[in-house]
Structure 1
Amino acid sequence: MTVSAQNTMPAGSAADHANADAANTSEPEGSVVIEGVTKKFGGAVAVDNISLHVRPGEFLSLLGPSGCGKTTTLRMLAGFEEPTSGSIHISGQDVVGVPPHKRNVNTVFQAYALFPHMSVAENVAYGLRQKGTPKSEIRERVSESLDLVQMRSFADRKPTQLSGGQQQRIALARALINRPAVLLLDEPLGALDRQLREEMQIELKLLQSRLGITFIFVTHDQGEALSMSDRIAIMRKGRIEQLDDADSIYDSPASAYVAGFIGQQNFLPGMMTSDLNVMESPFGVLRSVIPHPELEAGVDAQAAVRPEAVTVTATAGTSAATAPTAENRIAGEVLGVSHQGETLQFLVSIGDGQTLLSRVPRPTAPRLAVGDAVVCTWDATSVHLFPSEQATQAQADIARAVSNPAPPTSSISL
């Protein structure tokens, strides 16, 4: 399956109409404002009272597992679905009830939609021809669009003569030729192999930065979202769990779900002390620098620590025995060592069936073998404390998402 684009521009002057409406509002061209939007399909709630403001020229990703509501949100922006309640404004224009072809947006899907009997140039020009644009202008704008995606030399080829990545570039060119205020992208890289997908992530971000067009990107791949986005909206069960830039989401997760969904975490159970920055666990005393607002002394909690924050040091059995008495210091035994390219990953048993993951850059990684006694340490700034029930439910939801990955999307997916 290859990437495709679908035009949603009007056969007339809808762009001018949208711009005129925007001029009479306080919202600039390329802005998107979603307020209190809910979408129901019968008794099922797909999107649950979300509000979201997208800045002009921003690259924003909607990230979450299959069924979280991200694609339904995108389809409401495109006009393929109408909200059950709430409002949507694009470039200051109220678009609820406005058909797709009268919205100044274009949508890029993963599903195949290039016309196989047309050349690359004819595919890109299709929307302009439908609008009756003069031929001289069509030629100029097709050339400009193909230059944007570095595909001008392929103008006379048919789609079947192109690779998946090349077809994706053509899909983008066809979407961009109408100069939309907002470009919506629904899993556009999902059909590409890993290496090409990573290359296209870089190219797509560079293209968006150069054009200054608002991109709203739907994906279930956290790597895509983290590498390209100005901000990321983490979605769960139809709601936005956290909206922030990549650094904040990774380093300061607002919930146990975000902590576990983005990257990897070591979750350790325990009980809160009177010092709400400190949790006592069967494995050691864990200190954080920021207390969780829902935690009180004596309640069950879980501490989250990322593998890359954990330092593993070989130790003699006698000194390791004193490790559990220190904060953020736990003794263990190496169960496994995995080479992961630029890093080494250590799996450490700390007792009672509990393990810790540590991930260390190879140049600085200790040389450890299975069975070695070690001490795992980390800084208090790397510890996040969450209510135990919240953390347990989050881990269960994430496990279900992993066991039921998102299927390939298409222009008719919900």
Structure 2
Amino acid sequence: MTTSTGTAPASAAIPADQVPPGGDAARGAVLLSGITKHYGDQLAVDDLSLTIQPGEFISLLGPSGCGKTTTLRMIAGFEQPDAGDIRISGQSVLGEPPYRRNVNTVFQAYALFPHMTVAENVAYGLQQRKTPKAEIRTRVSEALDLVQMRQFADRKPTQLSGGQQQRIALSRALVNRPAVLLLDEPLGALDRQLREEMQLELKLLQSRLGITFVFVTHDQGEALSMSDRIAIMRHGRIEQIADADTVYARPASAYVAAFVGQQNFFTGPVAESGAAVEAPEGLVRGATAELTGVARGQAAVRPEFVRITAESTADPAGAASPVNSVRGTLLGVAHLGETMQYLVQVSDDKSLIARRPTPEAPSLSVGDAVVCSWDAANVLLFPADDAAADGGYVAPPAV
């Protein structure tokens, strides 16, 4: 995948390096070329280009208003771009209504017909297409088997749990055998445990069927657990697209670093020829000189890389070092199951989060004087801007 910043006319040829294996006509390939969408004066999607491979599970991830749902709706045909081209399985679908695109969409609201049985709900789309009755019966049974719901075929949706209704919505979409399945935050109405179970089932189902899945979510956990690639969106553009390991460990910007997972940010003048940031809390040094030629920078450290010890037991030499080490007062401790989380006040207006595996977590109490430290290899360096505050979690100020 590549992103585009230039203007791409609707007739623009697809670059060779964006053509999916088997050619751009491969079933399930989706190519967006320079698509733009305005709502009045508001720019929702800004000259976005994206290639989705056949059979890929890709997530569009970002906060509300970043353009992810608008992008999905343009692929589905519920919205038309103001500029650019959309190709599905090699064919431009500009101007085509949803029912003429080989896609189906699953929404957060399942939109099942309450007066119909499960089987009738699943069969509805096939009936609208005048599919022969014998074929309908066979395909409905197959679609219900895919989601392990055949035994509920004669029930009404109101007799099913939320997770079961979600499975029926999936079955209804899959029975039409689309080349691309679009999912718009379909798990948002489920409780946490059921949502996590459905994440696993969705990924297994997609792997089994080989259908292209385009999944829209604001939940980073969903995107990280299911996706072959994740496209993190910001202001109608793609900030970074990569697999889960890459976007988590090697974010392309402070915005991505803040949005995916949690970060402790330190801001200040760049020091040591671009290898460190001189923050008010101390010098934060990275492993390489990432900020050469930059005046101010941000250093980011994930909570799981922060070591925490009582000041009374800290190594005197390490505790005194101003590099990648800060002193503070413990504000709170949270038990997260497999990990313990510590909130530490490190200055009048800044706090820091440390997270340690429960078996090795130190026994500390609120009010304890502590020392937090981390290795240079775990420091990410970015030019200073407003990206972190714009995109995701930043440790709250001390209170």
Give the TM-score normalised by structure 2. 0.89
- Structure 1 residues 127 and 288, CA, compared in 2 at 3 Å: closer, same or farther? same
Equivalent residue, structure 1, for 2:293: 296
Matches of 1:309 and 1:322, distance apart in 2: 16
Equivalent residue, structure 2, for 1:126: 124
AA matched with 2:336: Q
Asked if structure 2 preserves the Cα contact closer than 8 Å seen for 1:185 and 1:215, the reply is: yes
**Percent sequence identity over aligned pairs:** 65
- Aligned positions of 1:1-400 closer than 5 A: 26-292=24-290, 295-296=292-293, 299-316=295-312, 323-388=319-384, 390=385, 392-398=386-392
Alpha-carbon offset, residue 318 of structure 1: 8.9
Matches of 1:73 and 1:282, distance apart in 2: 41
- Structure 1 residues 192 and 100, CA, compared in 2 at 3 Å: closer, same or farther? same
Asked if structure 1 preserves the Cα contact closer than 8 Å seen for 2:277 and 2:283, the reply is: yes
Matches of 1:380 and 1:290, distance apart in 2: 9
Matches of 2:179 and 2:288, distance apart in 1: 41
Matches of 1:306 and 1:397, distance apart in 2: 15
Q: Secondary structure at the residue paired with 2:273?
A: coil
Asked if structure 2 preserves the Cα contact closer than 8 Å seen for 1:59 and 1:216, the reply is: yes
Matches of 2:65 and 2:347, distance apart in 1: 37
Alpha-carbon offset, residue 251 of structure 1: 0.9
Alpha-carbon offset, residue 218 of structure 1: 0.6
Asked if structure 1 preserves the Cα contact closer than 8 Å seen for 2:147 and 2:171, the reply is: yes
Matches of 2:321 and 2:104, distance apart in 1: 59
AA matched with 2:370: V
- Structure 1 residues 375 and 25, CA, compared in 2 at 3 Å: closer, same or farther? closer
Alpha-carbon offset, residue 144 of structure 1: 0.5
Asked if structure 2 preserves the Cα contact closer than 8 Å seen for 1:320 and 1:373, the reply is: no
Matches of 1:350 and 1:320, distance apart in 2: 18
The superposition leaves residues 150-183 of structure 1 with CA deviations (integer Å, 9 ceiling, x where unpaired) of: 0000001111111111111011001001110000
Asked if structure 2 preserves the Cα contact closer than 8 Å seen for 1:231 and 1:245, the reply is: yes
Q: Secondary structure at the residue paired with 2:208?
A: helix
Matches of 2:298 and 2:202, distance apart in 1: 38
Asked if structure 2 preserves the Cα contact closer than 8 Å seen for 1:284 and 1:325, the reply is: no
CA RMSD of aligned residues (A): 2.2
The superposition leaves residues 119-174 of structure 1 with CA deviations (integer Å, 9 ceiling, x where unpaired) of: 11111111111222122111111111000000000001111111111111011001
Matches of 2:344 and 2:114, distance apart in 1: 54
AA matched with 1:286: V
The superposition leaves residues 86-118 of structure 1 with CA deviations (integer Å, 9 ceiling, x where unpaired) of: 111111111111221111101111124211111
- Structure 1 residues 318 and 48, CA, compared in 2 at 3 Å: closer, same or farther? closer
The superposition leaves residues 218-239 of structure 1 with CA deviations (integer Å, 9 ceiling, x where unpaired) of: 1111111111111111111111
Q: Secondary structure at the residue paired with 2:274?
A: coil
Matches of 1:328 and 1:365, distance apart in 2: 20
Matches of 1:52 and 1:132, distance apart in 2: 35
> 225-234 vs 269-278, which deviates more?
269-278
Matches of 1:364 and 1:187, distance apart in 2: 37
Q: Which has the higher contact order (CA 8 A, sep 6+)?
A: 1
Asked if structure 1 preserves the Cα contact closer than 8 Å seen for 2:324 and 2:376, the reply is: yes
Q: Secondary structure at the residue paired with 1:275?
A: helix
Give the TM-score normalised by structure 1. 0.86
> 272-281 vs 86-95, which deviates more?
272-281
Asked if structure 2 preserves the Cα contact closer than 8 Å seen for 1:61 and 1:231, the reply is: yes
